[in-house]
Structure 1
Amino acid sequence: MAGKALNKVNLLTLGADVLADLLLESVKGDAARQRRVRMALAAEQGPETIAADVRKRFAQVRRGRSFISRKAQKTLAKELSDLTQLIETGIAPDAPDLAFDLLWAQLHLAAGIHERTDDSWGTIGDAMRDAMEAIARLAPSITKDPKGLAEDVFEAVSVDGYGAFDHAVHALAEALGDTGLAHLKALSEAARSAPLTEADLVLYDFITDPVQREDRARVARDRTVEMILQDVADLQGDVDAWLPRYTPEQLTFHTIAPEAATRLLAAGRAEEALRLVEGALPNDHWFDSPDLDEAYFACLEALGRKDDLRNALWARFEKRLCPDALRRHLKLLPDFDDIEAEDAARQHVLAFPVIDAALAYCLQVQDMSLASQLVVSRHAEIDGDAYDILTPLADASVATHPLAAVLLWRSMIDFALTKARSGRYGHAARHLASCASADMAIPDYCGHPTHADYLNGLKANHARKASFWERVADFG
């Protein structure tokens, strides 16, 4: 039967003639598969031949008028992604400018496709993002005139209603260079101060009041222009032009403040960055904002405030049990002080209120000795439902700290049986077998039931859970 398995090795033994016949039969009546085969054939004939076939397919898509169903949408998106890959691998190495023209043309298909389908799932959008990412990889090899490229970018972004060109400025940054970015900025500034055109107004013909129509058109145009200017400012390192994209309130959001602070720090404005971060730091003890904390540390470091930095790092460790914060804190301490700090850190972990977090910390830093102390002393607090932490921690502990491993396995067994989680009975039975295997390596259970006593307790309390005991029997 091995010789009949449908795999590449066995198929190759059929020979080219048989495989060709089978391929022709399989693509018969399937236009999408036929196109894929034609593209594969074209790939062997050089960039210009591939480009001609790609353009022909783009023209077919552009001429389409019928509604694209969900099923057809997925097929089209797959084809577009395949074309992107074909352009990037079959054309770009020898003709990067030609490859860019094709990818750019593919992005221009987005509007027509979106008008013919409901892309709520983002299927077409993902295919277009693939094309833009390919352009970004291609950008260093593009040799087009930067000013002409800037004009292409400006025109494409200005009329883009579906987001296909949202990341064009960043994607083409290397190809644009300083000259192209400066020209793009000039085009955007000129557009912002220019009067509205008929092209701007026609999109809002449904508004009868001419004043309201002009206001809507101006807001839409200016929003696009501002987006371009902010992307250019970002690439030019102009933080003062970048910051206005957000309101003062938005700059205090934990998702925005770190990026703003990073840009201010890069511009040598550490005091301003610190004020921004301090205004964004949350008051909620339970809300973790690692990026914001990292920006805060960077501000303190830039200002040379080492004592404040040490205290801030320790505070993050105390609150979040963050290993990286502790490591950085210890490095900033004078010689020998780090030993005392390490002891204090271990005691803090042992007493940390949320034991799951403390166990996760031990797993993260691979400190099985600390984990053992924690498990043995606070076993009753362990949540047996936290199997994503307990299972790897038990596996890592069993060789050197078998009692801790057994107690972790018992926590998961007890949870599964007490809560009658039948779906976990197989895992619980395996954990019980692991407990039995580790029993001989444990001379002292430190006040916890021995394996025999624990097993008897399970039989007494869960005797009627037949499916569990059947699985236990499977493990011998």
Structure 2
Amino acid sequence: MSRKTLNKTNLERLGAAALADLVLDLVAGNAALQRQARMALSAAQGPKDIAADIRKRFAALRRASGFLDWRKQRALVKELDGLLDMIESRIAPEEADTTFELLWSFLQLAPSIHERTDDSNGAVGDVMGRAVELIGAVAPRITAEPRALAERVLEAVAEADFGEFDGIIPATAEALGPDGLAHLKQITNQWANTPPAQAELDKWRRFGLSTAPEEIVKRNRESTRSIILSDIADAQGDVDAYMARYTEEQLTYGTIAPGVARRLLDAGRVEEAHGIITRARATENAKGPRMFRHDLDEVYEECLQKLGHHDTLKDHLWDRFRAGLSAPALRRYLSLLPDFEDMEAEEAALDFVEAQAHPVPAVRFLVDWPAPARAARVVLARAAELDGNRFETLTPAAEALDADHPLAATLMRRAMIDDTLRGAKSKRYRHAARHLADCAACDSTIADYGDHPTHESFLATLRENHGRKHGFWSLVDG
């Protein structure tokens, strides 16, 4: 390797003085890099120095008021991640309490950040979620008094308008301990039943909503109380308390039943779990064709297995496979069959997949299974039906079939090229040009194109039909 290559070894040869000059030149005029350099210097001094610098940066972020567009937001999120890295690696190993306080302050930055940027991509929320995870890692080592911590948790959750403290109760459950969790439950109920202060009502009155502010506050508090109490119940292993937050009707919802049934299973209450999940499945099925709820199905399958209902489980898995081409369901179904019967059943299942009305889902399943010869057979037989817009499936499928089934790979790439050019999808031209180059590369390995056009013929047709799409041809012809 060249001694001029930019890597750690070669840079170390420059020596400390030369590297210091280089760093000073690089950070000149760049506030973000200057902050990073100062943080690195503080880190070299020890946890207390870097904690002091991090607190100063938090204060500056709280004071900031300028709008953050997507570029500035990305830079800020990168900086926030860097601050978390510093806290985790430089402070957490030695100073648990300091780490906890810094992470708590970090989460309290959320309102000021959300007020000046659009977080529809979830980037800010993700970095806040990481802070909660780090709190969960350090919380067992902190010295906070459990009841005081409980009061702090309630205040934070009650005032979190952007969900920044979501998950804080599971994260601090060990630190809260039995006394703290019990106290949190008590003060949560007291808070939810306390009449709202005038300032709290005025906040909602400003919006001029038709619903009375008192009703809004009451509803919000009830929702928050329900979440807090369910987290406490989970931490205490109290399934009944967790279930108590839901009505009988809500326990039949496909969004709620799996979580409740899972907790009952973990508590060894299999019959109850089976009853809840069965009623929920019946409710969902009564609504007509439904989106696949894998969590609902998976808990139901575990109930059947634990109850010893093996025939019902096999029937369910087979139906689930046929309904959504579920590979996990088919694999589990086959695992329940005796030797040799499973081989016959697999062949029947793959025959069913090949006969699907739409070829692209069939190709995806067969490539992933894997059954590449069958996938190639579907492509060759039904090339004209391939939806070239399904590039997320056809691209990896073509790559998987390249070596042993080059004609099938070529036909899938042609479908994507045709779709791109017919729709004048200029943003995909570079992908289409790459697909065409891959078709050319496969040409020499294809002995017989059968009823399909040769590569030269396909290329000529493209030039005839789409010759004016100069953006594409400039990529093809270089």
TM-score bin (small chain): 0.7 to 0.9
Q: CA deviation at 1:217?
A: 4.0
Name the SS of the counterpart of 1:43 in structure 2: helix
Q: Please name the residue that 1:68 is paired with.
A: 66
1:383 alignment partner in structure 2 = 387
* Secondary structure of the corresponding residue to residue 172 of structure 1: helix
Unaligned runs of 5+ in 1: none
Q: Do residues 333 (structure 1) and 337 (structure 2) align?
A: yes
Is contact 1:254–1:281 with CA below 8 Å preserved after alignment? Answer: no
- Judged with a 3 Å threshold, the aligned counterparts in structure 2 of structure 1 residues 349 and 157 are, in CA distance, closer, same or farther, namely closer
Whether contact under 8 Å (1:413, 1:431) holds in the other structure is no
Inter-CA distance 396–144: structure 2 relative to 1 (3 Å threshold): same
Opposite residue 67 of structure 2, the aligned amino acid is: S
Matching of residues 2-401 of structure 1 within 5 Å: 11-28=11-28, 31-61=31-61, 64=63, 67-70=65-68, 77-111=77-111, 117-121=116-120, 124-194=124-194, 196=196, 203=203, 214-243=214-243, 245=245, 251-267=251-267, 268=269, 269=272, 270-281=274-285, 284-285=288-289, 287-401=291-405
Cα distance between partner residues in 1 of 2:395 and 2:77: 41
> In structure 2, what is the equivalent of residue 449 of structure 1?
451
**Rg larger in structure:** 1
After superposition, the Cα gap between the structure-2 partners of 1:248 and 1:119, relative to the gap in structure 1 and judged at 3 Å, is farther
Output the TM-score relative to the length of structure 2.
Answer: 0.80
* Partners of 2:308 and 2:139 in 1: CA distance: 39
Q: CA offset at residue 318 of structure 1? A: 1.4
- C-alpha separation in 1, matches of 2:37 and 2:331: 56
Contact 1:385 1:415 in 2 (8 A): yes
Give yes or no for contact 1:201–1:217 (8 Å, CA) kept in 2. yes
Contact kept, 8 Å, 1:264 with 1:273, in 2: the verdict is no
Contact 1:375 1:408 in 2 (8 A): yes
Partners of 1:75 and 1:162 lie apart in 2 by 20
CA apart distance, 1:271? 1.6
Distance 1:137 1:38 in 2: 27
| Number of equivalenced pairs | 461
SS of 2:139's partner is: helix
The amino acid that maps onto 2:37 is V
Q: CA deviation at 1:85?
A: 2.0
CA distance in 2, matches of 1:160, 1:470: 53
Is the contact made by 1:39 and 1:50 (CA closer than 8 Å) also made in structure 2? yes
Q: TM-score when scaled to structure 1?
A: 0.80
User: Cα offset for 1:360?
Assistant: 0.8
Which deviations, in whole Å up to 9, do the C-alpha atoms of 1:53-96 show, x marking residues without a partner?
3334444555x3x6233167666554443322212111110111
Determine what percentage of the aligned residue pairs are the same residue.
Answer: 43
- Please give the per-residue CA displacement for 1:190-242, whole angstroms capped at 9, x wherever unaligned: 3334455567567567599xx95554444444433333112212333334433
Contact 1:393 1:405 in 2 (8 A): yes
1:388–1:48 distance in 2 versus 1, CA, 3 Å? closer
Change beyond 3 A, Cα 1:15–1:298: same
Answer whether contact 1:362 1:368 (CA < 8 A) is retained: yes
- 1:70 aligns to what SS in structure 2? coil
Which residue identity does 1:360 align to in structure 2?
R
Equivalent position of 1:437 in the other structure: 444
Aligned amino acid, residue 136 of structure 1: G
Task: State the shift of 1:380 in Å.
Answer: 4.0
Distance 2:157 2:191 in 1: 13
